Chains A and B, each alone.
Chain A
Amino acid sequence: MKTFEEKWTAWLDGELSGKELVEFEASLPDKAAAEAEKRDTHKLGALLKEQLGAHALSNEDFFSHQLRERIARENGPSREPSLEASTWWTVRRLFLTGVASLALFVICAVVVIRDKNPGEQSQYLTQILNARVDPAVSPNATISMFETKEDKVTVLWVEGLQSLPADYAAK
């Protein structure tokens, strides 16, 4: 069952006929005013068709191609965006690279720490732990020790040992 508005629109467009047309026109309160409105509507329609006609496309082939491509994309099988397909640096490879770098860092750190033992004065310098002279032979002997900065020589300096004649320099 059409509403009045639907019948009105169909009447304006000239789509009513037969019994339906007669019944609708009979239901109009002022048929002359309705006819006038129908004529105005037709005039407006003609004017709009004239002024708002579709412009011809200058690159219709390209436009058609783009359109077909888009339709094909949208109708094609949907795919999840995959990192593995898009780039060599997958999450897995990034993870493995990170682990490998960390392992390398730990190895280097261990080697460096082993090389430089903080418990010792310095591995670059010789250390004199103790020194003694026989007090009976050299009662006035004194002992001191130091390192030279230039070539890291450790020196045990003993003063007061008994002097010996030059003969003792023999090979």
Chain B
Amino acid sequence: MRNCALLLAALLALVMSVASAAQATQTVWSGLVIAENVSQPAPIPPELIRIEQTLKALFGYNQFQVIGQSRKTLKTGEEDWLASSKYFALHVDARGETEAGYVLNLKLYKENDLLLETDTKLSKRSPLVIKGPQVGGGQLLLVLVVQ
């Protein structure tokens, strides 16, 4: 009986340590996406497949192209990084990890101009989409996904 209790405790400790280790390293994908309506739409990028229907329904475009992206593996939850295209830059500043996900400060720059700033709690299970400025006949979208 005592051995069984010890075995059970060891098993629980193992499961909890594996769970916390899995939780410790997460990758955040940040993308600058141009949504457009074209006659021959290109396949949607793999990072957006999960939310393809929502993007199409919300914005009414049939093509989503990534013009800049960054994939950052978070270890401390306090890293910062940049996803940039030729004219736009999305600066992401992670300011800690919570039970729900990561606290992020996002800044969208057009060249040197700050267009938009927001603070979010990015959930591990809920992507974030930000509608940016109109660009030509399309729309700039910012997408953040915890992978």
- The interface of chain A, by Cβ under 8 A from chain B, is 93, 96, 100, 107, 114-115, 117, 120, 122-134, 137-138, 147-148, 150-159, 161-171
Contact = CB atoms under 8 A, between A and B. Distances in A.
A154 B126 contact: yes
Task: In the A-B complex, list the 4 residue pairs whose CB atoms are closest, starting with the nearest.
Answer: A166-B136, A131-B118, A161-B133, A163-B134
B130 A129 contact: no
Given A133-B116, A137-B115, A150-B53, A169 B136 contact: yes
11 contacts: A114-B99, A123-B99, A129-B118, A138-B115, A158-B116, A158-B132, A162-B115, A166-B137, A167-B87, A169-B136, A171-B86
Interface string B79-112: 0000001111000000000111101000000100
Interface residues on B, range: 35 or more
A167 to B, nearest CB: 8
A171 B125 contact: no
Interface string B54-93: 1000100000010110000000000000000111100000
Contact of A134 (B87, B113, B129): B113
A134 B115 contact: yes
A100 B1 CA distance: 11
Contact of B67 (A107, A120, A123, A170): A170
Contact of B58 (A107, A120, A128, A155): A155
Contacts of B135: 163-166, 168-169
A164 B5 contact: no
Contact of A123 (B50, B116, B123, B138): B123
Given A154-B129, A168-B87, A171-B86, A148 B54 contact: yes
B85 A158 contact: no
B116 A170 contact: no
B100 A131 contact: no
Given A93-B1, A131-B118, A168-B87, A147 B126 contact: yes
Given A131-B116, A158-B132, 10 more contacts: A100-B5, A120-B121, A126-B121, A128-B118, A128-B119, A154-B127, A156-B128, A162-B133, A169-B34, A171-B68
A138 B131 CA distance: 14
Residue of B126, B128, B138 contacting most chain A CB atoms (<10 Å): B126
Contacts of A96: 1
A161 B121 contact: no
Contacts of A122: 100, 123
B27 interface: no
B10 interface: no
A168 B1 contact: no
Residue of B12, B85, B100, B122 contacting most chain A CB atoms (<10 Å): B100
B8 interface: yes
B114 interface: yes
Contacts of A170: 67, 85-87
Given A96-B1, A125-B126, A134-B113, A168 B88 contact: yes
